[in-house]
Structure 1
Amino acid sequence: MEPVTTGLIYAAAMAAIATARPKWEPNRGNERQYVLRPADISPLSDFGIADAAVYPVSAAQFPSGVDRIVSELNGYGKFGGDWNGEGALAPTAESVKEAIDFIRAFPAGLALPSPTISVGGEIGFYWSSAAGYVDLQIESLGHASLYIRNRKTGQDRFDDDIDWRTVGRQWYQEKLSILQDPLQIAA
């Protein structure tokens, strides 16, 4: 092989591969963290060494996906009655807490849902793709209802009285698998 081709193949093999959310995600709260800013790197002329400045930052400056969802859910908690101008009910403090508990307990490494609120003040989460739609409505005391629609076949499924505190990662993988297009997976 030519040196250029070998170099390209080697570079492609060493390139970082994009992955789903890691199986771990540290929850650091407001713990102080540090960031290295490339703009602050200046070469030391005598030695050809880069000198970098390190600055403390708070975790709030780089929120995780879960933190962003929790922030949105806390925003729902501030809604008053008629928040949409058409008579919508405000969510209860208990329903906001239950939704936050759900998202914090959601298995890492799976696609995070988008939060939603209904005009009845009920909080839920949904996942959507070209292949399917999954809607999980938080009920109370660790229970939820689940609606699944396969967009390819038009089939619907509804499960009620699900104890989300006891279902495991495999249950979520099974339910969310509807979002994957089998033709794309096979390709």
Structure 2
Amino acid sequence: MYIIDECHLLWNDLVGYLWNFVKNPLKIPILNPKERQTYYGALELFTQEFTLVPEPTANGELTVEFVKKLLGKHPQARILLIWDGASYHRGQVMRDFLTEQNEGLLPENWQITCVRFAPYAPQENPVEAIWLQLKTLLRRFYRFGKSFKSVKRLFQLFVDLKLFNLPNFSNYDAFSRFA
């Protein structure tokens, strides 16, 4: 069972609220505020393993590739994906992939089943809490973010070192029994 979400890391995500003396304001130069990196993230509910895959953007084709990577981790298992209603989660490319994967099977035997969170309810998705922690940590290390390349490296390092707390599932009604 995977809880999935995408994060769009922007160059200006490094800018946040920082403490400093009022008479001496802190200025952080942003060289190109439009630079961005998309990450697909999946939290496996039972093992609590977090999978992160960087991509140039989020679309139907890349979403299918991400799901295939998750399938590769569990080739014989049936997988439940829980995610939001992003267009690339419910678009034609994904529908075609699901049809191919589940062809000829009854719904209770599908290899992949997808369930959506309620519309416009990011507070229901525990992966959102992970993104928030990672971006907050990035802001604390703003002085090391001299380039967007270094910001992306820091973000990846924070994930690799697991410098985030796993969400408390009891705070999420849908997952409270797994806490």
- Tell me the TM-score normalized by structure 2: 0.22
Please give the TM-score of this superposition, normalised by the length of structure 1: 0.22
Q: Which fold has the larger relative contact order, with Cα–Cα distance below 8 Å and residues 6 or more apart in sequence?
A: 2
Q: Of Structure 1 and Structure 2, which has the larger fraction of its residues in helix?
A: 2
When Rg is computed on C-alpha atoms for both structures, the one with the higher figure is: 1
Structure with higher strand content: 1
